[in-house]
């Protein structure tokens, strides 16, 4: 509607389905246009450093596919995905303890499509999805588009707190709510960077079993550990009550848009039908190129390269925070892409962002990762994409922004509406570097 006019700027506004009201631009996407300016140091977007991928070897795979199977690569394919690639996916999942067969895997157009398909199958308007506090903005956008209510469950530096999950399920069931699944990112979580401990994985699985609630395990970062692997996947313990989502976007390249789902048999069959209804089939070309790469190249060594690169950048960011913002508490991830900062009392990460852009540094405000408006006292910083020197400079610029905001708060009073977030369970207590 035009502000104050009562007139819609969209002539089709009244024709949209009710679920269209759940579609909105995420705060992360809204940052891209500004953060991509060359003079801005972006610590906002979780883009993998694809320049570390050997382009010549990818070109070899492209050439082989076009020479040997060009017509098939440019044709429609199976709705479940090419068996050859599914074989390689089984090898990838075996590194995290998952045992599966070729028929257990459904290839998707990135794991984001997998989230959409799972949501399409399970969510009715008004259903509840339980998610970590904070949680992945892209998942919450999907759940919202199907008119679900996202209820956050408190977490700390060991991940989601089991007794908080038990209490939340009991409370919601008593209120007559329908809970469809628990959504978890157990490894190097986006945005908090924390990892769900081995004991808690089993506790959460027991709670889900007891209450008859599915678990959706989203694991894009699990192979990107720095010092030691995370605990085995939840799916490795239970193949009946867990839907597992994987992706090549972080360990290979997001441009190929290839992910996958492993689910119990009945769910898997419906996922294939839902995928065929949406896209007919995932890209044969992308799947064939990936399959060829995994066949001919040392993909495990390539993952090792990414691990070393991201570990160096994590260390650079932690060192810069210690040097320029020593009083700021933050998580210290053991893998993945992200650090989660807790701002001094009275500062508002969302209100502070325009000043940061003026100072030529970008971050993601914590509000992007909550469905309930919380997170104003938090910031997500991504260390995956910028070169180490830019990370250090970005943190230096951020420190200047925070100092200026503190001066303003001292003069005019705080403008944060999210004071003492950690005491409400909105985010993990920091593991101070």
Same domain, 105 and 195: yes
Closest by CA to 426, choosing from 161, 43, 64, 102, is 161
d(CA 143, CA 129): 8
At 352, the pLDDT band (50, 70, 90 cuts) reads very high
User: What span, in angstroms and rounded, lies between the C-alpha atoms of 310 and 314?
Assistant: 6
* CATH number of the CATH domain containing 248: 3.40.640.10
pLDDT of residue 30: 59
Q: Lowest mean pLDDT of 131-140, 245-254, 407-416, name the range.
A: 407-416
Answer whether residue 219 shows pLDDT above 60. yes
Please name the residues in contact with 416: beta carbons below 8 A apart, sequence gap of 6 or more.
343, 345, 346, 347, 348, 351, 376, 377
Rounded to whole angstroms, the Cα distance separating 139 from 252 reads 21
Range of the domain at 389: 17-52+302-424
Domain assignment of residue 152, yes or no: yes
DSSP code per residue over 215-249: EEEE-SSTT-BSSSPPPPPGGGT-SSSEEEEEEST
Q: Which residue has the tokens 């009991």?
A: 170
> Is 30 inside a domain boundary?
yes
Residue 279 within a domain:
yes
The answer on 142 and 290 residing in a single domain is: yes
Rounded Cα–Cα distance for residues 393 and 323 (Å)? 12
- CA–CA distance, 431 with 194 (Å, rounded to integer): 9
> Is residue 422 predicted with pLDDT exceeding 60?
no
Q: Indicate whether 429 pLDDT > 50.
A: no
Please indicate, yes or no, whether residues 245 and 393 belong to a single structural domain of this protein: no
**In this prediction, what percent of the chain has a pLDDT beyond 90?**
83
Among 296, 325, 359, residue at a domain's last position: 296
Q: Tell me: do 286 and 320 sit in the same domain.
A: no
Query: In terms of pLDDT, which residue wins out, 359 or 420?
Result: 359
Q: Which of 247, 276, 296 is the last residue of a domain?
A: 296
- For residue 254, being part of any structural domain is answered with yes
Q: Quickly state the pLDDT bin for 14 (edges 50, 70, 90).
A: confident
What's 402's domain CATH number?
Answer: 3.90.1150.10
Asked if residue 10 is part of any domain, the answer here is no
Q: State phi, psi for 203 to the nearest 5 degrees.
A: -65, -45
In 141-276, which ranges are E strands? 149-156, 159-160, 179-184, 214-218, 242-247, 259-262
Contact 88, 291 (CB under 8 A): yes
337 pLDDT more than 50:
yes
| pLDDT at residue 426 in the model | 44
How much is the average pLDDT of 86-103?
96
pLDDT band at 16; cut points 50, 70, 90 = confident
Q: Identify the DSSP state of 335.
A: B
The verdict on 264 and 328 lying in the same domain is no
Q: Check pLDDT > 70 for residue 418.
A: no
Kindly tell me if the per-residue pLDDT of 28 is higher than 90: no
Give the pLDDT of residue 26: 60
As a whole number of angstroms, the distance between CA 381 and CA 363 comes to 6
Give the pTM: 0.90
Contact indicator for 232, 96 with CB cutoff of 8 Å: yes
Instruction: Tell me: do 229 and 348 sit in the same domain.
Output: no
Q: At what angle do helices 388-412 and 349-358 cross, to 10 degrees?
A: 120
Half-sphere exposure of 368 (CA within 13 A, CB side): 26
Would you say 273 and 106 are in contact if contact means Cβ atoms under 8 Å apart?
no
Q: pLDDT tens-digit profile of 274-323?
A: 999 999 999 999 999 999 999 999 999 999 999 999 999 999 999 999 99
Task: Say yes or no: 290 and 320 in one domain.
Answer: no
CB 297 within 8 A of CB 69: no
Tokens of 195: 């990892």
Mean pLDDT, residues 97-122 taken together:
96
- Give the sheet arrangement for strand 338-342, strand by strand: 329-330, 338-342, 378-382, 364-365
Sequence-ordered list of residues with C-beta below 8 angstroms from that of 300, at least 6 positions apart, any chain: none
Residues 354 and 252 in one domain: no
Residue 66 maps to a domain:
no
Tell me what the pLDDT averaged over the chain comes to.
90
Domain end (from 276, 296, 316): 296
Closest CA to 187 of 149, 228, 152: 228
| pLDDT score at 102 | 95
Which residue is it, tokens 């990838």?
Answer: 92
- Number of structural domains (the chain) is 2
Position 7 in a domain: no
Residue 20 has a pLDDT of 74
pLDDT confidence of residue 34: 64
Same domain flag for 288 and 378: no
Residue 101 has pLDDT above 50, yes or no: yes
Answer yes or no: do 155 and 281 share one domain: yes
- Coil/strand/helix, residue 340: strand
Same domain (yes/no): 147, 40: no
Residue 64 forms part of a structural domain: no
CA neighbor of 382 nearest in space, from 403, 371, 368, 370: 368
pLDDT of 31 above 90: no
> Across residues 249-268, what is the average pLDDT?
95
Q: Are residues 284 and 387 in the same domain?
A: no
All residues at 6 or more sequence positions from 200 whose CB lies less than 8 Å from its CB, including other chains: 158, 159, 160, 161, 162
Span of 19-33, 69-83, 97-111, 251-265 with lowest mean pLDDT: 19-33
């Amino acid at each position: 509607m035009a502000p104050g006019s009562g007139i819609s700027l969209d002539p089709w506004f009244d024709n949209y389905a009710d679920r269209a009201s759940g579609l909105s631009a995420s705060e992360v996407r809204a940052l891209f246009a500004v953060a991509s300016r060359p003079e801005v140091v972006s610590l906002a977007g979780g883009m993998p450093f694809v320049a570390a991928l050997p382009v010549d070897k990818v070109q070899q795979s492209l050439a082989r596919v076009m020479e040997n199977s060009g017509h098939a690569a440019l044709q429609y394919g199976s709705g479940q995905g090419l068996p050859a690639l599914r074989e390689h996916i089984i090898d990838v999942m075996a590194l995290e303890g998952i045992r599966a067969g070729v028929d257990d895997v459904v290839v998707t157009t990135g794991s984001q499509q997998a989230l959409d398909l799972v949501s399409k199958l399970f969510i009715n308007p008004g259903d509840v999805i339980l998610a970590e506090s904070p949680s992945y903005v892209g998942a919450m956008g999907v759940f919202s588009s199907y008119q679900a209510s996202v209820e956050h469950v408190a977490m700390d530096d060991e991940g989601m707190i089991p007794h908080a999950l038990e209490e939340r399920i009991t409370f919601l069931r008593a209120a007559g709510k329908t809970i469809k699944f628990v959504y978890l990112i157990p490894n190097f979580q986006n945005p908090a960077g924390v990892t769900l401990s081995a004991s808690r994985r089993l506790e959460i699985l027991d709670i889900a079993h007891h209450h008859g609630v599915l678990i959706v395990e989203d694991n894009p970062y699990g192979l990107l550990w720095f010092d030691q692997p995370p605990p085995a996947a939840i799916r490795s313990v239970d193949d009946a009550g867990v839907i597992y989502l994987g992706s090549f976007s972080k360990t290979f390249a997001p441009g190929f848009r290839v992910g996958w789902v492993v689910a119990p048999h009945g769910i898997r069959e419906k996922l294939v039908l839902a995928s065929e209804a949406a896209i007919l089939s995932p890209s044969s070309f992308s799947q064939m190129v990936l399959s060829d790469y995994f066949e001919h190249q040392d993909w495990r060594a390539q993952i090792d390269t990414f691990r070393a690169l991201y570990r160096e950048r994590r260390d650079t960011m932690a060192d810069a925070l210690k040097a320029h913002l020593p009083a700021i508490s933050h998580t210290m991830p053991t893998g993945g892409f992200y650090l989660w900062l807790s701002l001094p009392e009275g500062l508002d990460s969302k209100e502070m962002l325009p000043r940061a852009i003026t100072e030529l540094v970008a971050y993601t405000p914590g509000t992007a990762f909550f469905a309930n408006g919380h997170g104003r006292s938090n910031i997500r910083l991504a260390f995956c994409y910028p070169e180490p020197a830019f990370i250090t400079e970005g943190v230096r610029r951020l420190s200047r922004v925070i100092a200026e905001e503190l001066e303003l708060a001292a003069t005019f009073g705080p403008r944060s509406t999210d004071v003492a977030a950690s005491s409400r369970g909105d985010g993990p207590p920091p593991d101070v570097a």
